[in-house]
Amino acid sequence: MSQWKRIVGIFMLALMATGSVSLPASGHRTQPVDVYHRAWQLVRDNYYDSNFNGKNWNELEHKFDSQIKTTADAHKYVKVMLESLSDPYTRFLDPRAFQDENDAIDARIVGIGINLMQSKDQQKLIINRVIEGGPAERNGVASGDEIAAIDSYNAIGMTPEQAADRIRGKAGTPVQLTLRHGASLKTVNITREEITIKAVNSHLDKNTNIGYITLTTFISNDAAEEFKQALQKLNRADGLIIDLRDNPGGLLSNALEIADMLLEGGAIVSTISRHGRHTDIASGAPVSHQPIVILVDNESASASEILASALKDNGRAIVVGEKTYGKGLVQEINRLPGGAAVHITVSRYLTPSGLDINKVGVIPDISISDKKEQERVARECLKEKIASLKPIRTSSLDLARTK
């Protein structure tokens, strides 16, 4: 595995990547202060802004040495140090969170198969995704359900991270959820198990011969391969609708590979770091030539935005939906001594047309907020694109028959 994984998205309840670390010389036992100094060094050497967002980084090198006595102290002051950058994406992960990210990369977790979000008033825990075929779905849990209690513990005001700590456990052990849906309450007992996370779902609408691919995450190492399999499965469809709604991103490598499967040529994305600018170019050997419409919303972030803008800017797809989240920064994650880790923003990216979409988002070709209407318009747009190509396809076929 390479030294770092590049992260271009954020996930609820665990995500992202793995990395390696330079440890102290052989024979030297790692001290708590070494953990802090390693984190400081990694930011010094890799942070994308050489001015460190206006922070004098050298001042922080030994600022907390006298206060770091334990590993917990080191972790506390690493957080303080990183927060001084005022960059929400450069952050500390404790060993548990880091392990969760590794599990997500491996596309396998032990749990019940749900993703959570907090309501805007921060009082409710809402299930925003249920993994198909997972233990939660088999027990009647549905997207949109509110978790009112976990093992009889009141969940009002609980963060998704706090809820995850209570829901996690060993495979084969039970957890009890009290769910509210509308005015009704129900209690379900769910047995935790190892779950294989699928990044892609696909199907063919036989009435329209339109293929649908829903890409829920770019985090799994298997995401690009799953997408390729979906394209192969739908190779006889007249056109494709690719749904990136509610997709918070993941690994940059997946976004690049998937874009390359769809583009005839051109730039995919440019990344700009302290060391210069790099542009990834499509190989010109796409897996699919079918017309494409992409669905996005305001939760489509980072890797989703890279894919959507690459296809939009190269004229390969029509983008339908809402303005996307607007995360135009790339992180790498580095392991620290003792098993914790840090995410560090190492570059910003530009779309093929040269736009910086950070805090701005990708603007759809057709802006629609209602999800069902987005899907209807996507179908109509795709049908129009397919119809416009049919005379060309017929002419090619007739020419072949005359030879």
At residue 165, the pLDDT reads 83
Catalytic, out of 145, 260, 327, 347: 327
For the chain, the straight-line distance linking the first and the last C-alpha, in angstroms and rounded, comes to: 52
If you search the block for the tokens 């992960």, which residue do you land on?
A: 93
Average pLDDT of the chain, as a whole number: 88
The CATH number, out of the four listed (3.40.50.720, 2.30.42.10, 3.40.50.620, 3.40.50.12280), of the domain defined by the range 111-196: 2.30.42.10
Q: Are 346 and 46 in contact (CB under 8 A)?
A: yes
Summarised one tens digit per residue, pLDDT across range 71-113 is 999 999 999 999 999 999 999 999 988 887 887 777 677 889 8
Q: Are 358 and 306 in contact (CB under 8 A)?
A: no
Whether 302 sits among the annotated catalytic residues: the reply is yes
Residue-range domain boundaries for the chain: 1-107+198-387, 111-196
Confidence of residue 128 (pLDDT cuts 50, 70, 90): confident
Quick check: 223 pLDDT over 70?
Answer: yes
Average pLDDT over residues 29-55: 95
Q: Are 218 and 9 in contact (CB under 8 A)?
A: yes
Catalytic, out of 34, 87, 297, 313: 313
Closest CA to 147 of 137, 138, 139, 157: 157
Closest CA to 259 of 192, 301, 305, 295: 305
- Cα angle at 158 between 247 and 248, to 5 degrees? 10
**Helices 303-313 and 252-262: angle between axes, nearest 10 degrees:** 20
At residue 1, the pLDDT reads 28
Closest CA to 186 of 177, 194, 195: 177
Give the bridge partners for 176, in sequence order.
189
Quick check: 294 pLDDT over 80?
Answer: yes
CA distance 366 to 355: 18
Whether 313 sits among the annotated catalytic residues: the reply is yes
Q: Are 182 and 213 in contact (CB under 8 A)?
A: no
Strand order in the sheet with 200-205: 200-205, 210-215, 239-243, 292-296, 317-321, 366-367
Catalytic, out of 270, 302, 309, 347: 302
Q: pTM of the prediction?
A: 0.80
Residue 352: CB atoms within 10 A of its CB come to: 23
CA distance 215 to 251: 13
Q: Are 347 and 273 in contact (CB under 8 A)?
A: yes
Confidence of residue 362 (pLDDT cuts 50, 70, 90): very high
Pairing state between β 276-281 and 146-150? unpaired
**According to the CATH classification, is domain 1-107+198-387 in 3.50.50.60?**
no
Closest CA to 302 of 260, 264, 253: 253
- Cα angle at 21 between 18 and 24, to 5 degrees? 160
CA distance 249 to 348: 15
